[in-house]
């Protein structure tokens, strides 16, 4: 009898790792997922690769409110490149490894980026697939009629198979986190060009799938970002005309010719479970721990040294997952600048449930060797100038053991923590709330990556961990979990340990 998921919390529990209980899994490199969808029958439109020499400080973009900038084909090309472009190629085990402008679990990059375009000279109105490998657009169809004619809508999807090739049933976690990283890059790139936009976590999944001609058993829509003035997805023209035939190339996927899709029923179930947008119910902010802690500590609001360093464009181009950490002392101006990136507001349509859901994402850190701060575990409150010292001590070694014994975590100056009370989250937002907190964790993690690069630090995300042991180490209550961690700190100035 097939088991039916009843909640997002149940999915998270069923895909938890337990020490000595992870079943062996052979990685079939003959079935390695493709890095893009070929769409062989579509006309390919090459995008400009010569971009304006413009950049802005990260701290400015993190807190900016984009205005009335207009998109042309060059600006659009630059935004697509900064959001999800390829910065370097290499090979490993005969597999092409692509360094991109953002990290991805296992380097697999399950996300795809589509663009519905209206009002850009040189591009016909219509819906396009962005191929980041060949840096071109493929036109899917011409059915796009937004009320605001000068509208560009970016739609982020993710492929189950691409992530499940390595992570199996746990893949949905990484699809959501990767989407958050991509969306944050996209928003910052739009801000670079001062393009006002609205972000949508909420829409009718099936309507967007039909609009993009997706096979929802293989690929699903997750986030939309629109540059237009419409505040409702249904008003943005994201609907096919009745009776319009499907393009035969819509069957294109990330599967190789030798691949039969390995499908995990639980992945389709967790996505379907969150397909209904639920009106937020009023609930108090949830607690994630019953521990009282040892008192509050002020977060220094230092001038961010990023101002005189790399800007957004340079940080994106140079970004790597660097984890060759060394246990040097991190100056107060540097670590406080890194912490301050956590509290720069993410952009939302304030009328949407997703804006309120940000309050349901709890953050903290395990830290060591920070100037003028005790080693220990800290949780951040809603007040960006305060954090709660939960316990003094050096916990990085224990945390490395929990993260599948990844030894490099021991030396990181800061291990940022993203946590949530899943039971209370679901009471407030339904199963779709799980997407909200995972997207937001990925978005803030992308800011940490970029800020670390701008500050000359290493940074690497950690999604693989023994879930129950993490809960115990952090003192989380029964219904709360650690969703994601990001390690950051001083590194050896070498080329090693980059992914």
Whose tokens are 């009282």? That residue is: 292
Position 12 in a domain: no
Claim to verify: residue 269 and residue 308 sit in the same structural domain: no
Claim to verify: residue 170 and residue 312 sit in the same structural domain: no
Position 465 in a domain: yes
Please provide the DSSP assignment of 373-406 as one string: S-SEEEEE-SSTTEEEEEEES--HHHHHHHTTT-
- CATH number for the domain harbouring residue 340: 3.40.109.10
pLDDT value of position 221: 96
Claim to verify: residue 303 and residue 262 sit in the same structural domain: no
Which tokens hold the place of 200?
């949508």
Beta strands 44-46 and 296-298: pairing type? unpaired
Tally the domains of the chain. Answer: 2
Residue 241, pLDDT > 70, answer: no
Q: How does pLDDT run across 372-411, given as a tens digit for each residue? A: 999 999 998 766 678 899 999 999 999 999 999 999 999 9
Position 220 in a domain: yes
Mean pLDDT value across the chain? 86
Residue 80, pLDDT > 90, answer: yes
Position 499 in a domain: no
Position 497 in a domain: no
- Domain boundary residue, one of 208, 240, 273: 273
Q: How many CA atoms lie within 13 A of 398 on its CB side?
A: 14
What DSSP state is assigned to residue 29? G
Please provide the DSSP assignment of 158-210 as one string: EEHHHHHHHHGGGHHHHHHHHHHHHHHHHHHHHHHTTB--EEES-S-HHHHHH
Claim to verify: residue 89 and residue 192 sit in the same structural domain: yes
Residue 210, pLDDT > 50, answer: yes
Claim to verify: residue 90 and residue 190 sit in the same structural domain: yes
CA–CA gap between residue 478 and residue 381 (Å, rounded): 20
Claim to verify: residue 31 and residue 133 sit in the same structural domain: yes
Residue 305, pLDDT > 90, answer: no
Claim to verify: residue 267 and residue 333 sit in the same structural domain: no
Claim to verify: residue 315 and residue 418 sit in the same structural domain: yes
Full-prediction pTM beyond 0.85?
yes
Position 100 in a domain: yes
Whose tokens are 């301050």? That residue is: 340
Q: How does pLDDT run across 427-461, given as a tens digit for each residue? A: 999 999 999 999 999 999 999 999 999 999 999 99
* Domain range enclosing 476: 296-489
Claim to verify: residue 305 and residue 267 sit in the same structural domain: no
For residue 101, count other CB atoms closer than 10 A to its CB.
24
Claim to verify: residue 318 and residue 229 sit in the same structural domain: no
Position 228 in a domain: yes
Position 288 in a domain: no
pLDDT value of position 386: 83
Say which residues have a Cβ less than 8 Å from residue 184's Cβ, sequence separation at least 6. 346, 442, 443, 444, 446, 447
Q: In this structure, are residues 274 and 435 in contact, taking their beta carbons and an 8 Å threshold?
A: yes
Claim to verify: residue 319 and residue 227 sit in the same structural domain: no
Claim to verify: residue 388 and residue 307 sit in the same structural domain: yes
CA–CA gap between residue 221 and residue 227 (Å, rounded): 18
3-state secondary structure of 250: helix
Q: In this structure, are residues 237 and 145 in contact, taking their beta carbons and an 8 Å threshold?
A: yes
């Amino acid at each position: 009898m097939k088991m039916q998921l009843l909640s997002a919390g149940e999915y998270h529990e069923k895909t938890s790792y337990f020490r000595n209980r992870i079943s062996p899994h052979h990685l079939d490199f003959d079935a390695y997922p493709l890095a893009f969808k070929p769409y062989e029958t579509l006309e390919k439109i090459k995008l400009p690769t010569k971009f304006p020499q413009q950049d802005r400080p990260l701290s400015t973009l993190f807190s900016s409110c984009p205005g009335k900038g207009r998109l042309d084909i060059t600006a659009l090309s630059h935004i697509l490149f900064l959001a999800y472009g390829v910065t370097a190629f290499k090979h490993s085990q005969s597999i092409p490894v692509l360094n991109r402008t953002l990290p991805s679990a296992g380097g697999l990059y399950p996300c795809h980026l589509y663009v519905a375009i209206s009002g850009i000279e040189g591009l016909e109105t219509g819906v396009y697939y962005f191929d980041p490998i060949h840096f071109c657009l493929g036109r899917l169809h011409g059915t796009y009629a937004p009320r605001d004619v000068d509208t560009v809508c970016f739609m982020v999807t993710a492929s189950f198979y691409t992530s499940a090739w390595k992570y199996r049933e746990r893949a949905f976690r990484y699809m959501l986190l990767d989407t958050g990283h991509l969306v944050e890059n996209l928003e910052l790139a739009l801000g670079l060009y001062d393009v006002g936009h609205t972000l949508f976590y909420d829409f009718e999944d099936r309507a967007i799938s039909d609009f993009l001609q997706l096979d929802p058993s293989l690929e699903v829509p997750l986030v939309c970002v629109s540059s237009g003035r419409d505040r409702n997805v249904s008003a943005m023209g994201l609907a096919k005309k009745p009776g319009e035939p499907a393009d035969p190339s819509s069957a294109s996927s990330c599967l190789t010719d030798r691949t039969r899709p390995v499908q995990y029923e639980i992945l389709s179930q967790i996505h379907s479970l969150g397909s209904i947008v639920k009106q937020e119910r009023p609930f108090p902010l949830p607690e994630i721990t019953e521990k009282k802690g040892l008192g509050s500590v002020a977060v220094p609001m230092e001038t961010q040294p990023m101002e005189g360093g790399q800007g957004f464009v340079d940080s994106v181009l140079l970004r790597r997952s660097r984890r060759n950490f060394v246990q040097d002392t991190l100056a107060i101006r540097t670590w406080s600048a890194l912490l301050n990136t956590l509290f720069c507001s993410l952009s939302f349509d304030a009328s949407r449930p997703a804006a309120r859901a940000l309050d349901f994402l709890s953050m903290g850190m395990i830290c060591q060797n920070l100037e003028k701060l005790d080693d220990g575990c800290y949780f951040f409150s809603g007040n960006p100038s305060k954090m709660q010292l939960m316990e003094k001590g050096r916990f990085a070694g224990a945390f490395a053991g929990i993260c599948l014994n990844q030894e490099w975590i021991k030396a990181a100056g800061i291990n940022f923590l993203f946590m949530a009370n899943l039971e209370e989250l679901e009471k407030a937002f339904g199963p779709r709330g799980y997407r909200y907190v995972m997207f937001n964790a990925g978005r803030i993690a992308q800011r940490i990556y970029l800020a670390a690069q701008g500050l000359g630090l290493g940074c690497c995300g950690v999604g693989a961990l023994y879930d129950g042991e993490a809960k115990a180490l952090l003192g989380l209550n029964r219904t709360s979990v650690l969703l994601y961690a990001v390690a950051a700190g001083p590194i050896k100035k070498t080329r090693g340990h980059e992914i």
